[in-house]
Each structure stands twice: as structure tokens, then as C-alpha cells.
Amino acid sequence: MIPGALREAVARDGETIVYVPRERLLEVMTWLKETPGQEFDYLVDVTAVEYRDRERPLEVVYFLRSLKRRADIRVKVELQASEELSVDSVWGLWRGADWLEREVFDMFGVTFRGHPDLRRILMWETYAEGYPLRKSFPLRGRFSRAEQVRQALNANPEAHYSLEELSIADAAGDLPDEMRDRLRRGERGVIPEPPSSSP
Amino acid sequence: MKRVGEVQSSNYLLAKFHDLVDWAVNSSRANSLWPMPFGIACCAIEFMATAASRFDFARFGMERQAFSPRQADVLICAGRLPFKLAPVIRRIYDQMPQPKWVISMGACASTGGIFDNYSMVQGIDTIVPVDVYVPGCPPRPEGLLYGILLLHKKIKGESLFDAVRRRDEQPLDERGLRLPPETIDEISEPFGNSVHQFRSS
């Protein structure tokens, strides 16, 4: 194993959890994936945990599985709330990390350095209220219901997809001019300003 | 006033012309409602059961489900509506030709139900005008059929000649809202268990 790369390792109930400093994450993940005898070739999930105890750091959690060895490992990176919430993307190792990391970004606001397309994935791209699964986020959102309805109704439901994401990409020549222009511009809308009267 | 179609003798029928036209038009409309299914959650499963052989709403003239809004008469919103889908259902509603009706199926479509959170519309009546609310979580097929029959009754009470009883187009205002903001806030108030949750934390 790489010296100094493990901050802490916990083995409990037959599960292995390793804590990695965030500078070493990519190094450790590459080692886990490519070293013979490790071969964690499948990224099951990427998620994050924020605890009610505000002293505890936010954790980004990676679930890895080796399909050949039938072994699991859980890798955690701790991020202090006081510093920038960012880690290296593991998209280069497992392509499946693409949407998983987008979801963590959407829900927790963790940015993944080196991710090819880090956009919101569940909420629409012009969503302006913040990151819903953070502990500081009010259950009903930051804006009033009327403001939420107004922003939702003024959203353009077709503007969230790029031409490549739409399956009509290869039929672009047959589309109406107006629609083709709009898709080519990649119009996603602008993130609205929070209303002055938001509670 | 004599009722439409009331037979005075075996030889003639006495009715007002307006009533006769309304009766003919409304009967045609009510008895050939083509539904536009907008199934977004578990209510859609019960909707499918309503459409299938055991309950079979084709018996009430809903033989053809219109999967295009251009050929639909009644929009059935079956399931909870997230804000992300709000502009979608509004566009589908706008694309339906008049006359058109909306059934809000289930607790979540009608009020937001258990989903009193940041992502869910608290009642689709903040987005589109609703004619019949079917309660239940999800409603049984009998419940939806009852709602459809209530809608028949409502349609048969409309009149081509009475602007008050006729449905008019309900476009969005210049803010892009169907209802005034105060009304939306009022009808989106928490209720039940969710009153114990706080808006800001």
C-alpha cells in the first residue's frame, strides 16, 4: 500500500472502511483499481454524508467492488466545512462516476475536479436555492411556495438538454430552424436572483 | 320549465332549443372523453388498473387513450408532481384543444400529500385548473371511476350559451402564474404532521 495514504482504516462487521486524505484520493483509487490482488473494477456508488454534529466533517463515500474477488471496500474522504468542498473526480478510472458525482454535486455542492460535465442532474440547471441535502437547507426550500412555482413555470423544459443528449442529435438537419438554433446555442437559461422577500 | 326530452305525448317533444343543443353537445362530450394520462407515480398503476379489463373505463366512452395532448379531452394527473415537471404539465395542458378538463388523481397531485418538501408542487391546481380531485393514496380504481362519473355530471351541467357556466381558457398571467402569489402560499401551507416542521432551520 502507498505509505501515508491511509488516515484510518476500520474493519467492522465484515466491512472495510478506509479514510483517505483528499490529496491522496486519486492515487489510492488508482492503486485499488489496478494493483493485482486488489482489482476493484466496479464503482458501486458515490455519495456523501453530512452529520448533524457540525464539528464533524462532511464525508464523500465511495463504494467499490471487485467483481472477480467478490470483495467490497468503502473509501471515505473527509471534507472540512470551513474549506472548499472539492475532491478529485474518479471519472478517469470508472466512467460510471459521471452521473454519481453529478448527483453528489447537485445535492451537496461538492465539486469534483476533472469531471467532464459537472452540472446538476436531479434538480434543473437553473435551480437557485442551493444544495438540498445539506443540513443548512430548510426542508421546504429557501423561497416561498409562490416563488418556487413562478420559477418552475418560467423554466424552459427543453433547455436542460444539449443537442448530444437529445436522441435527435443526428436528425438535427430536419429540425425547425428556431429549435435548431436554440439547441445549438445550448440555451440553459440563467439562474434567477433570489427574491428580496424570501423568508 | 319542461326538462329536455320529456315526452308530452307519443307524438311530439317539447324543449328549449338551447337546452336541446346543450344536451346534444354535452352528452357527446361527456360520453367520449379521451384521457391524456400523465402518470408520474404509483397512482399511475391504479390508473392502468382502471383502464384494464376488470374495471375498464372504456365502458364510459374513454376507449381511446390519447397519448398526444392534441387529441385529448381530459388530463389525468396521476402522481406527485415535482417542480421540474411543472412546466411540462402546463405545456401539455396548453397544447390540449378546448374544451378540456383536468382530473387530479390522488393525495399528492391534489395537495402535495406526504411530500411537503423543497421539490414538490403542493397541489397541481397551482399550475393548471382542476375539475375533479380524487382523494386516496393511491385511489382505488372505483375511486377514479367515481371521479370520472362526477366529471361527466359536471360536463352535462355546462352550457354553450351561458358564459358563466362555460369553461374559458385560463392563460398564465404576466408573472407566469395561474394564481396570485398570496393564494399559492396560502394553499401550500403545511398541514397534518408537517406543521411540526419548520420552514427555516
pTM (2 d.p.): 0.81
Q: How far is residue A186's CA from residue A119's CA, in Å, rounded to a whole number?
A: 13
Of B90, B74, B160, B162, nearest to B125 by C-alpha is: B90
> What's the pLDDT tens digit per position in A15-71?
899 999 988 899 999 999 998 888 999 999 999 999 988 889 999 999 999 999 999
If you average pLDDT over residues B177-196, what whole number do you get?
Answer: 80
pLDDT of residue A199: 46
Question: How many interchain CB pairs under 8 A, A with B?
Answer: 84
Q: How far is residue B74's CA from residue B33's CA, in Å, rounded to a whole number?
A: 7
Per-domain boundaries in chain A: 8-134
pLDDT of residue B16: 81
A149·B116 Cβ contact <8 A: no
Q: How far is residue B150's CA from residue B157's CA, in Å, rounded to a whole number?
A: 11
Quickly count: other Cβ atoms within 10 Å of residue B102's Cβ.
25
* CB-CB neighbors (< 8 A) of A199 in chain B: 199-200
CATH of domain B31-167+176-192: 3.40.50.12280
* CB-CB neighbors (< 8 A) of A145 in chain B: 122, 126, 184-185, 188
List all residues 6 or more positions away from A11 whose beta carbon is below 8 Å from its beta carbon.
A17
* CB-CB neighbors (< 8 A) of B117 in chain A: 139-141
Domain A8-134 class, CATH top level:
alpha beta
pLDDT of residue A81: 82
B176·A141 Cβ contact <8 A: no
pLDDT of residue B158: 86
* CB-CB neighbors (< 8 A) of A149 in chain B: 83, 86, 121, 126-127, 177, 184
> What's the pLDDT tens digit per position in B113-138?
888 889 999 999 999 999 999 999 99
Per-domain boundaries in chain B: 31-167+176-192
